[in-house]
Structure 1
Amino acid sequence: MSAQHINQYAHTTHEHHDYDAAQSYEREQGSCDWRMLPVALVVWGVNLIVYQLWNAWQEAPSGDGYEPHMATSGISLGDSRTMMLLIVALASLLLGIAVGIALRCRRKRQVAGILTVCCIAAMISAAATIADTTIQWHDAAMALARDGPQYVSAIVHVTSPTVSASKRDADCQVDGVIRTIFDGTVERSANGAVRVFLQSPHCTTSIATGSYQVSGELATAEYGSKPLWLIADDRGALREVAPPRITAHAVAMMQQAMFAVCADLSDQARILVPGLTVGVLGQDIVLQGTAAASSEPSTIMDSLDINATYAEQLEDSFRRSGIMHLMAVSGGHFMILAGFIRRMCARMLTHRWITALAMIAGNCALAAIVFPSDSVLRALSMGCLSAICLGLGRRSQTVSGLCWTVIVMLILTPSMARSYGFALSCAAVLGIALIASPVQHMIAILLPDTVAEATAMTIAAQVFTLPIQVLMEPELPILSIPANVLVAPFVGFATIAGLMALAVSWLSPDIGYALAWIAGCGTRVMERCAIWLGGKQYATVPWAGDLPGVLLILLVEGVIAAGVMLCVRALARRSTPDADSPSPGARKFPFRPRERFALWLSDTKRMLEEASE
């Protein structure tokens, strides 16, 4: 080959290398794919805006007096405004497509694509929210409840276990969906979500995920996540219409067996072990069937002489110290289970698809045996996405998986956009995924790696969830970071022991009691930390509520973040190359207390050894 050919080949190869490098630069890095983050935020924001506009239209006065714009039948002003909103959403879509076409060039291609997808997602989210609110408005149960409290007989499909009632004149409650409703005149089909309040004779009856006929007063909810309340009375017994599934019976049996085992533990363990394991505090548990000590006391607090004042004080201490999230099932439970399954499958050298299917099955089983909540559904969805990525041979991406979970769940179930539990869960995961690693690198200068990791995760989650917490309650838990760091070493083994107790208590109560006792040892530390830190007068700081409080906390967090970044840059300048040093490339001694202390300790040890010789 001649020298000319060699030069031409080298020049062509160099050009192809530069082109490939430019193309790879324009592509999104797979390990930090944030492209769906603005889409998820748009879906969530449009959902909330449409819902608020809908409420404003329905509550606005019409004519001479107050009258809802939308009737239960026919076409009215509410329908026309709905159509106008759909037209505006469609116009936004067309505008987004036009902007995408205008910006579609080589450097702005990604931005144009994201803008187009955001417009499409906004239209879909608006349409889904309108459809959901319209269906809920026209529901037969909602129409009866809007006319005022009425005595009805309804067939309710129960979707949650029985817990202690949040209403004073009831003993226990269950959540469900009204399938059929009879108001004394006409029997109609319905599909409204309802919270049923029961009296003590029915609380100890084994109520699983089945259909039951309930008679009582139907009314709109005064608070809570369900739009309807059905307050059952004693005129008729609770009658089973459709038996629950076998799996529901098995889950109820496992839960009740564990609750009966926890009855022999200390007071703090009776309250905290069920909360850490299945997501419901001990004072809210209702013993049913053979697990109930008698038919009169309906809750574990009543039957086992748990002091109501102590239970309320302990719950308040957990809230004030900022560790109340430990008493809710979250992604930590699913991560523990998924890690265990992966290690077992790796030891047996199974194919990755078998491992993925085992992880999905394990996640579904865990979601079935714990108490249902929005955070559990979010964790289940992300766990299944992570397992699918494993089966495809790809690394799971937390931010991308969270965004897709939010988009799909809010489109399928728009009401979840107004759930504080779902919002807190998503915000915590997003904060940990985005800033936990940088924060850990910064504070690792001062703290050991293990403590730095726990502190960084707490700070990251706290920064993103504080605005939502201010909306829920206008106060700041300033001791939440040290509280979470102190209990972090005990959360893992206590959760594992609690889940093992849940799995074996129905088979061997003695082994289940031993495992629950181990979990109680971990919750003992949590109790001590909560009472110690949560009992301080300065554990929480009053804060502005509603939107002003949210804006204020965002401003404070922004100022603190800017100050931290300036300090980090100032410290980084101290480790730049030292021009005065005779050695080329020498750097200034960095300001790292851990390294300085280690050097001082090693020098002192060496000096003592030399002196002894």
Structure 2
Amino acid sequence: MTVAAGLGAASEVTADPSYRARRDMRLVPAASVVWAGSLAGFQWGWQAAVTVGGLAAVAGFLVAAHARRRRWPRVAAAAVALGVCGPLVLVPVGIRVHDVTDDPLRAVAADGADVRLRAEVRERPRPLRDDGYGGRRGGVRSVLVPVDVVRVADVGDDGVAAADSDRSGVSSTGRVLLIAPAGEWTDLLPGQRFGTSVSLAPARPGDMTVAVGYVRGPPERVGTASWWQRSADVVRTALREAAGVLGDDEAGLLPGLVVGDTGAQSARVEEEFLDAGLSHLTAVSGSNVAIVCGAVLLLARAVRLGPRTSAGVAGLALAAFVVLVGYEPSVLRAAVMGALGLAALVLGRRRSVVPALAVAVCGLILVDPAMATSMGFALSVVATGGLVFLAPRWAAALAARRVPPGAAEALAVPVAAFVATAPVIAGMAGEVSLVSVAANLLAAPVVAPVTVLGVAAAALAVPLPAAAEILVHLAGPGVSWLVVVAREAAAVPGAVVSWPTGWWGGIAAAGIVVGGVVALRYRKTRVAVAVVVTGMLVVTLPPRWWQPGWPPENWAVVACDVGQGDGIVLATGSPGRAVVVDAGPDPRTIDRCLDRLDVERVPLLVLSHLHADHVGGLRALLDDRSVGGVAVGGGRSPAWAWREVSGAARRSGTPLVELSTGERLRWETLTIDVLGPHHTPQRARAGESEDGTVVNDTSLVLRASTRAGRVVLSGDIELAAQSDLLARDVDLRADVLKVPHHGSRYTRPEFLTAVRPRIALVSVGADNEHGHPSAVTLRTLEAAGALVARTDRGGDLAVVPGDGAAPVLVRRGPGP
């Protein structure tokens, strides 16, 4: 086992039977108390942190005295460490939590005041994926900017700050999380100071953030970042440009794999990696540090540098890598452990992961108590613990059953990491990926080569961009393999299981994990577990994988279950061909729906309007199917969406056409009439409107004549557009209505009465934050005699011709 490998937690995975004797647990109680004290402080107030610290100090010194009398040196050492760390929790942590809890800016934020801040950027701005109607699905419209307050201007009695005041009306140096528009804010670097006007809102409890600020304008009076931060930004930009030689998915993923830069990563890839349990690959942590430092050490030894010189070179590389990646909690944890390992190499001592992990936990939480509540930090620590304490034993057990050593370790590592992290993910994220182990096992062989090649490309991207592109090309197959693994794993039915969030959800998941691990130790219980799991799979998977009778014969219209968005499919009468109206918010959901319907060719894809929940799946259709043309209305807002839609159509060679009111389109058993909009505001046509209602009212309104009768597809039109249709006396009568705007309350009863549908289809996401559909709208439809069907409850909804005049509704049922 090389020293380089020892820098990562995976270095502890070994079948050596003497391994357990080398573990040094003396600092574990101290680290646990520091972490628990900080958590208690944020959860129940600074008094809880003080109490935990005080009890730990007293208990530590009492146990140390007793252990010395009994001559238990290891127990005495652990107790002394506990006694030392107890006061550190009592004073620094308790005081910090108290200052955050009582920060004056909290009261200002509670009033929703507007203030002027002078602040310093704490971390690199992070992209905020916005799934709302105006949000840029798969792109970045806003960024999150963690900042430290330097000065707060005067706040007047009306809550508005004096614009030109430099006096501190509120004394605060707390942390604020700014939500700012992308653009100039995206380019800010850690350490830069700036001024801005902010609308404050209360922060969530339980961390060091004292307020959330909403910013509309650009940063003002921006200071200069340090030379090393500017240099790191140049390298990251050059790496993104070098990665552009790959395909879109790979080009966005490679910078994330190498330096944690996910700004160019598509929403589809991000969600697939999350569902497959591979998102940790784009959150740089211990494995990246181990790979980078290991490669540097091997290179240094190859040129015959001594151990101490090699460690020094690796230390410089580690420092540069941390600056390049950013000060993320998992990175700092891994960096501290790596630095301790290098120091041990310089001192000629063998390092153990456990003391290094304990020191990292203590040091980082004492410096920044917010680490205690960070999900990234928690996952990094518990994953390392799982690899240290569980993987070696399981690898040895597999080896004892004649599994080859390399295969035994390869199996033990992802299983141990999954077992350790599942309770944390379940409690904090509310879901568990059941395909994580298999996906990580398949991904593991290419992670190290891709990381080494990517880091080398980053190092050469500025001085030798052509050489960097060659290295990126070499890494390309590995990156493509990771995309394939994530995509296929995420597509497995039941890949992700929802779970209750919070402490009780985490505790329940931990109980199941512990119970499962204990049960698998004994032969009889192993058989019982196997029988139960097999039974659950037999009962749950077949209905999710395949549902008999779907698609129904002679289907005419299907409202796909695409979540909070629209995706309507109209049969043309030719097998495998259908017109699609809107592509939903997510490429995967519309793609799967079309797969279930056996649709391979789309003669026309109509985008009713350009909001994210209607155009998010465009790329999936253009990439995976033959699309004859993309049709839009007159609106060009939001401008970012129009650029993406027109660009995607141009790149795929698909004609882009504009539909106008009065046009008629025909296929074998399908005719579409364009009923609206009659008028598109100039600002919406010019792409200058970000107003959601204005964009919604530019929706194309279509009347489709199908084998199952007339169908009105109303996009997201609201009151004004509905009134225009009624005022023009448009014939809206139909058998089926795709209810406007996901059943929102902005629906005129007169419009619903004019349509008088037999079936009303509501395309809506479960538990959406917009409150759709409105109970008032549903009552109006039901009072008019319509059968109301919702995709969040019925899954894909199909309309087929009935035996009589009325069409028939067929629900597929919720499922992947």
Structure 1 length-normalised TM: 0.73
Superposed CA offset, 1:321-368 (max 9, x none): 211111111111211222122223323443433222222211100001
Kindly indicate whether residue 123 of structure 2 is the aligned counterpart of residue 160 of structure 1. yes
1:381 to 307, 312, 336: 336
- Deviation by residue 1:231-280 (Cα, 9 ceiling, x = unmatched): 2223xx53334311121211111111112233342121122112101113
Partner of 2:26, secondary structure, is coil
Matched, 1:211 2:193: yes
* 1:192-238 deviations in Å (ceiling 9; x for gaps): 2223333355347565642112223233335998443232223xx53
- Partners of 1:484 and 1:378 lie apart in 2 by 22
Q: Deviations over 1:159-215 (max 9, x none)?
A: 333443356675334322121121335622532222333335534756564211222
Q: Aligned pair 1:93/2:57, yes or no?
A: yes
Alpha-carbon distance in structure 1 between the residues aligned to 2:190 and 2:509 = 43
RMSD: 3.0
The offset of 1:499, in angstroms, is 1.1
In the other structure, the counterpart of 2:488 is: 532
Q: Which amino acid aligns with 1:266?
A: G
Matched ranges for 1:177-576 at <5 A? 177-183=148-154, 184=161, 187-188=167-168, 190-200=172-182, 202-203=184-185, 209-221=191-203, 226-234=209-217, 237-283=218-264, 311-444=266-399, 445=401, 447-567=403-523
Kept in 2, the 8 Å contact 1:137–1:143? The answer is: no
Q: 1:569 to 1:348 in 2, by over 3 A?
A: farther
Answer yes or no: is the 8 Å Cα contact 1:208–1:249 preserved in 2.
no
2:211 alignment partner AA: L
Native 8 Å contact 1:225 1:419 kept in 2: no
Q: Aligned partners of 2:303, 2:326: CA distance in 1, in Å? A: 32
Distance 2:447 2:227 in 1: 32
Q: Which amino acid aligns with 2:407?
A: V
Question: What's the CA shift string for 1:7-40, capped at 9, x where partnerless?
Answer: xxxxxxxxxxxxxxxxxxxxx9983111111221
Deviations 1:281-324 (A, max 9, x none): 2446xxxxxxxxxxxxxxxxxxxxxxxxxx33332221222111
Distance 2:385 2:91 in 1: 26
| 1:131 equivalenced with 2:95 (yes/no) | yes
One-letter amino acid of the structure 1 residue matched with residue 510 of structure 2: L
Instruction: Report if aligned partners of 2:33, 2:56 keep a CA contact under 8 Å in 1.
Output: no
Q: What's 1:302 paired with?
A: none
Could you say if the C-alpha distance between residues 155 and 500 of structure 1 is closer, same or farther in structure 2, counting changes exceeding 3 Å? same
Residues 356-365 or 258-267, more deviating: 258-267
Structure 1: which amino acid aligns with 2:148?
V
The answer to whether the Cα contact below 8 Å between 1:474 and 1:544 also exists between their aligned partners in 2 is yes
Structure whose residues are more often strand by fraction: 2
Greater percentage in helix: 1
Q: Which runs of 4+ in 1 moved over 6 A?
A: none
Contact 1:382–1:402 at 8 Å: present in 2 too? Answer: yes
Opposite residue 41 of structure 2, the aligned amino acid is: V
- CA shift digits 1:77-107 (9 cap, x unpaired): xxxxx4x974785466335433443454435
Task: Report the counterpart of residue 21 of structure 1 in structure 2.
Answer: none
Conserved in 1, the CA contact under 8 Å of 2:33 and 2:82?
A: yes
Q: Which shifted more, 484-493 or 92-101?
A: 92-101
Tell me the equivalent position of 2:732. Answer: none
For structure 2, the residue ranges without an aligned partner over 5 or more in a row are 1-18, 136-140, 155-160, 527-816
Counterparts in 2 of 1:354 and 1:233: CA distance versus 1, 3 Å: same
Amino acid at match of 1:32: R
Match of 1:62 in 2: none
Q: SS where residue 172 of structure 1 aligns?
A: strand
Deviation of the 1:113 alpha carbon: 4.5
- Which residue number in structure 2 is paired with residue 37 of structure 1? 28
**What is the identity, as a one-letter code, of the residue corresponding to 1:202?**
E
Native 8 Å contact 1:504 1:511 kept in 2: yes
- Aligned position for 2:70: 106
> How many Å separate the matches in 2 of 1:512 and 1:88?
52
AA aligned opposite 1:255? R
Contact 1:279/1:329 (CA < 8 Å) preserved in 2? yes
Structure 1 unaligned segments of length 5 or more: list them. 1-27, 56-81, 285-310, 571-613
CA shift at 1:441, angstroms?
1.8
1:45 aligned partner, one-letter code? A
Give the paired residue count.
Answer: 487
The 3-state SS of whatever aligns with 1:180 is: strand
- SS across alignment from 1:229: strand
Query: Percent of counterpart pairs with the same letter?
Result: 24
| AA of the residue aligned to 2:216 | D
What secondary structure, in the 3-state scheme, does the structure 2 residue paired with 1:558 have?
helix
Question: Using a 3 Å threshold, how does the CA distance of structure 1 residues 440 and 86 change in structure 2: closer, same or farther?
Answer: closer
